[in-house]
Chains A and B, each alone.
Chain A
């Protein structure tokens, strides 16, 4: 049965390509077919996962090779897939959340004339994402990696008539390409060092290679992970990516694709275990992004961008956990899954709010929506409780474990993660207050209403998952389940009992909530965004996304543009100028040489006589001498 795991990918891929090729006649059924393909993949995924559960722990990794993808010279790559404990969890997350979002999109995109194409792209995304997690070779993983990048590009720019959307799509792709640079070089290095890029072979052989190789590989893969997961320094594309339709933001830019970087690090655990330096780099990247994302989340008034900042921050948590080594891998994946539930839930909730508010994303124009959108409010509320880490909701368990492990590694890393938890509570409370509580600040002609059932049911399902997702930790199930993949973890004893730490974390969260409640209930929220000059320097920096775009602009974009302009000039005047210069000199020479051509017969005749005379004289001279 596991030999058929390629069907997981093939079903949505076939559906996606089919929908693209199918003309206008497909418009009536396109969305249903797309949703059916995703559901089918989900059902098959559940069947496979159940089969995996039924096996004993030693045999829970099932590989299959479809065909030889590339065999040239000494380079050999098989199109092979592996369904194991880790990829199994991902398959369920991707197809499960993916299917819910497909269903939601039926309602959300109902009035879009290009809905069929939207579903085609979503299907292609699901297929690529599954290829990414199932791949048993880094190059096959790279195929899925770029596939999701393409789907992301197409979906961010789905509303192509908007200049901002197509610019955001391009930016996402190009920034991701910078990350791909790391991936590509990493795979080349594997090939040069080990003669293969098979994931299991490389991670198994890494201990035999020098430490420099492991560190270099780790850093290159981290660069790739930073691009895809919007980690500092390649974070700038994610906030712009919110130009895409909201279900896209939920599926791709919150629940699944952006977590691919975390998956990559966990999947490459052999490499990261072998290099302390690479792991430290992962921790630093995670910690910086965690705080930067939270900071941005505090300052944004656009509901999707606030959530995007939060996504950055939460993925920072996962990265941080992944950088902690075997102790953290399982918790990184655990947080990834719970985050997938509650963040998808909240993004879809935000989409539902926008649906009722004429697609306005400005939170300052919301307020008091709880009575008008009760289902959205309730489900969003559960997501909110989950993300800030209120027991017993899912986020509490996963975040608590990460902070605990971080303290086990290093006090300051733990403090950073703890601070992040407080800020998370602050910005999420702010978002809740501005959107659902507080007084109405609606624009004219806005009549908020609850979304249709096809949109609220996925919300309910995701809210339920956000509420109970913590059961995965019950009896340390997830750590034990993943142990064959991630390796055994040494347990660190903390200086204080775990329960005390949990209480401290909860206290910090309460402080964050209280601070937000204090600041945003104290006085009415302005319906217009206060000018930059009237807000604190922290808020201003947050609004400008910590000047990441300005930095990129100054360091990369503008120099490249100048270089390009210079080279265009140089090519015309320098390289081609040299060639045309040679041609011009030749022309000048012939202009000079044609002067004697007067056209008078006698001058030619005289020249001929002169020539003959010279020849005769020369002959005479030779014969006489």
Chain B
């Protein structure tokens, strides 16, 4: 019940916002209502977290009602450690985004209600997608997230927003269509082998012929690979992120795109383990290409928002690499990466969004020497940037290293090439920082003021989490680990064991130096 309430709260909030009178005053009632709803949702998600038993790997807090009897679709929800981590990410980011969005300059300020309502709708639908345990329900929610995002990009973005929104929509609809074909296929097969059902637990027990399984897998995978952009299906993302408002970009990249990677783990790996294994060499190659390609393109961008979009392509490459390496280490790393990437990208998009709003331009070459007049903003940008380049001590490092270390045991070349990404990451972040923040103040930047209290309040939680999880990732990993063990044992691929295992006994540690 609690999961349904959690997902329904922001949706209800969105409806309330839609009913509120349209105002154009700077201090909208709607803004505070939206923030309030987001905070209530956050509080509810913490309640969910408290009810969640960390020691078991299966689905918990489940709920099941018959929905469409004809094809055996259930309203069935539940979470495991992976789902709850991502729900937590969603509920943490939404208030941050909404607070930061208070200052967004919309094409028509009277539409603030709709803007915030669509954001809350994204939150509710994403929570639903992360907790659905029925393939049909998941499909519906997965596709439904497109609606609010389409309007967020198309109505509130930059000058080229219609193009970006249509491109976003068509790309994702194509993926969704392929997934729909697989859903229909699943229905046919499950109806043949007994009562038709879309429940994850029932679908896992189906017998597929090899080719059927591969085809169905490809349908799902295509949708997820477009959503969590995998090279070469990524080109919608830079356009969309380049036109959307910072808040929209955060919700799109940090939350909704995670449904793609989440789907790979939950649906592709759990429903089609053999097909996933069959496809893994190709997917790993594409993931490594994504890592290097995204990073190199980020180096070559002049638009800050497109740069961040390409860094995300690179980071999604890491996540997908970790998923398809099929080791507990890399998969735990990937799941943690989803959370950490959400935080660090949110911080990056938001702080650069504030910069861009002040300067009136997103071109790196228009900035210069901003550090001198906006030291706090520069510090936040540097910290967010360092987290994006996975500096040890900040959260993304741990997830990236887990992914690489896990992948290394499966495929040394993949890990070695992927590790090249850390050098390129230093390049794209530091070149951007150098050109934007350092050097003498460039004319035209005089109006760039430092962050105000509201903006700091919105960024601080993200920064605290980025630093805190860099040193204490264990609270999250403890939640993730049991679920990962379940998935990996279902895939049937154990971790490769060390060739020269070391018995870690206390004496060895106590002795310290090598004798």
Are A and B direct contacts in the complex by CB distance below 8 Å? yes
Do A177 and B513 touch (CB < 8 A)?
no
Q: Which residues of B contact A160 (CB under 8 A)?
A: 371-372, 437-439
- Out of B329, B369, B471, name the residue touching A73 (CB < 8 Å): B329
Q: Is A203 an interface residue (CB 8 A)?
A: yes
1/0 per residue A39-67: CB within 8 Å of B?
A: 00000000000000000000001110101
Q: Residue on B with the closest CB to A194?
A: B502
User: Is the beta-carbon distance between B512 and A61 smaller than 8 angstroms?
Assistant: yes
Complex partner residue of B392 from A75, A142, A163, A178, CB under 8 angstroms: A142
In the complex, whether B508 has a CB less than 8 A from a CB of chain A is yes
Q: How many A-B residue pairs have CB under 8 A?
A: 224
Chain A residues in contact with chain B, CB under 8 A?
20, 61-63, 65, 67-75, 79-80, 82, 84-86, 136, 139, 142-143, 145-147, 150, 153, 157, 160-163, 165-167, 169-170, 173-174, 177-178, 180-181, 184-185, 187-189, 191-196, 198-205, 208-209, 213, 269-270, 484-485, 487, 560, 563-565, 567-568, 571, 575-576, 579, 583
B293 contact from A174, A200, A567, Cβ within 8 A = A567
CB proximity to A under 8 Å, residues B400-418:
401-402, 404-406, 408-409, 412, 415-416
Segment at the A interface, from B116-124, B253-261, B474-482: B474-482
Residues of A within 8 A of B402 (CB): 70, 72-73, 75
Q: Does B266 contact A (CB under 8 A)?
A: no
CB within 8 Å of A: which B461-515 residues: 471-474, 477-478, 480-481, 484, 495-502, 504, 508-515
Contact B511 A188 (CB under 8 A): no
Alpha-carbon distance A111/B299, docked complex (angstroms): 37
Contact residue among A177, A198, A568 (Cβ-Cβ distance under 8 Å from B422): A177
Which residues in A have their C-beta under 8 angstroms from that of B422? 177, 180-181, 184
Report chain B residues within 8 Å CB of A161.
369, 372, 438-440
- Determine if B502 and A195 form an interchain contact, defined as CB atoms under 8 angstroms apart: yes
Number of B residues, CB within 8 Å of A: 80
The 6 closest A-B pairs by CB, nearest first: A73-B328, A61-B512, A73-B329, A195-B498, A166-B438, A72-B332
Question: Nearest-CB distance from B377 to chain A (Å)?
Answer: 14
B426 near A72 (CB under 8 angstroms)? no
B434 within 8 A of A: yes
Decide yes or no: A82 and B474 within 8 Å by CB, A73-B329, A184-B422, A571-B297 being known contacts: no
Tell whether A177 pairs with B501 under 8 Å between CB atoms, given A84-B512, A487-B515, A576-B235.
no
Query: 22 A–B contact pairs at CB < 8 A?
Result: A61-B511, A67-B472, A72-B402, A72-B481, A73-B333, A75-B406, A136-B509, A174-B426, A181-B423, A184-B401, A187-B405, A188-B419, A191-B408, A193-B499, A198-B504, A201-B504, A270-B514, A564-B300, A567-B300, A568-B297, A568-B300, A571-B297
Residues of A within 8 A of B401 (CB): 139, 184, 187
**Within 8 Å of chain A (Cβ to Cβ): is B308?**
no
Look across to chain B and name the residue whose beta carbon is closest to the beta carbon of A81: B512
Which residues of chain A have C-beta atoms less than 8 A from B434's C-beta? 166-167, 169-170
Min distance, Cβ B411 to any Cβ of chain A, angstroms: 11
- Give a binary string over B422-440; 1 marks a CB under 8 Å from any A CB, 0 the rest: 1100110011011001111
Q: Which residues of B contact A (CB under 8 A)?
A: 170-171, 231-232, 234-235, 293, 296-297, 299-301, 327-333, 336, 369, 371-372, 379, 386, 391-393, 397-398, 401-402, 404-406, 408-409, 412, 415-416, 419-420, 422-423, 426-427, 430-431, 433-434, 437-440, 471-474, 477-478, 480-481, 484, 495-502, 504, 508-515
Give A165 to B437 CA distance when docked, in angstroms. 13
Residues of B within 8 A of A69 (CB): 471, 473-474
Indicate if the CB atoms of B386 and A71 lie closer than 8 Å: no
Interface pair B235/A579, CB less than 8 Å apart: yes
Residues of A within 8 A of B439 (CB): 160-163, 166
Q: Which of B386, B419, B495 contacts A185 (CB 8 A)?
A: B419
Q: How far is the CA of A281 from the CA of B171 in the complex (A)?
A: 52
List chain A residues, Cβ under 8 A from B406: 73, 75
B380 → chain A, closest Cβ, in Å?
A: 12
Q: With CB as the reference atom, state the residue of chain B lying closest to A20.
A: B379
Closest to A486 in B: B513
- Shortest beta-carbon distance, B296 to chain A, in Å? 5
A178 touching B477, Cβ below 8 Å: no
Q: How far is the CB of B337 from chain A (nearest CB, A)?
A: 11
**Alpha-carbon separation in the docked complex, A564 to B403 (Å):** 26
List B contacts of A177 (CB < 8 A): 422-423, 426
Residue numbers in A under 8 Å from B234 (CB-CB) = 575
Asked whether B427 lies within 8 Å of A565 as measured between CB atoms, the reply is no
Rounded to whole angstroms, the CA-CA distance of A79 and B419 in the bound complex is 23
- State the Cβ distance, A180 to closest chain B Cβ, in Å: 7
Check B300–A203 contact: CB distance below 8 A. no
A73 contacts B426, C-beta separation under 8 Å: no
Closest Cβ of chain B: how far from A162's Cβ, in Å?
Answer: 8
List, in ascending order, chain A residues with CB within 8 A of B379's CB. Answer: 20
Complex contacts, A484 vs chain B, CB 8 Å: 513, 515
Q: A167-B434, A200-B512, A200-B513 are in contact. Are A575 and B232 (CB under 8 A)?
A: yes
Output the least CB separation between B183 and chain A (Å).
24
Task: Given the known inter-chain contacts A192-B498, A204-B514, please indicate yes or no for A575 contacting B235, CB distance below 8 A.
Answer: yes
Flag if B405 contacts A163 (CB, 8 Å): no
- What distance in Å separates the Cβ of B355 from its nearest Cβ neighbour in chain A? 16
A312 to B401, CA, bound (A): 31
Name the residue among B336, B405, B502, B513 with the largest chain A CB count within 10 angstroms.
B513
Shortest A344–chain B CB gap in Å is: 26
Question: Smallest CB-CB separation from B335: which chain A residue?
Answer: A72
- A73 touching B331, Cβ below 8 Å: yes
Q: A63-B512, A177-B422, A187-B405 are in contact. Are A75 and B329 (CB under 8 A)?
A: yes
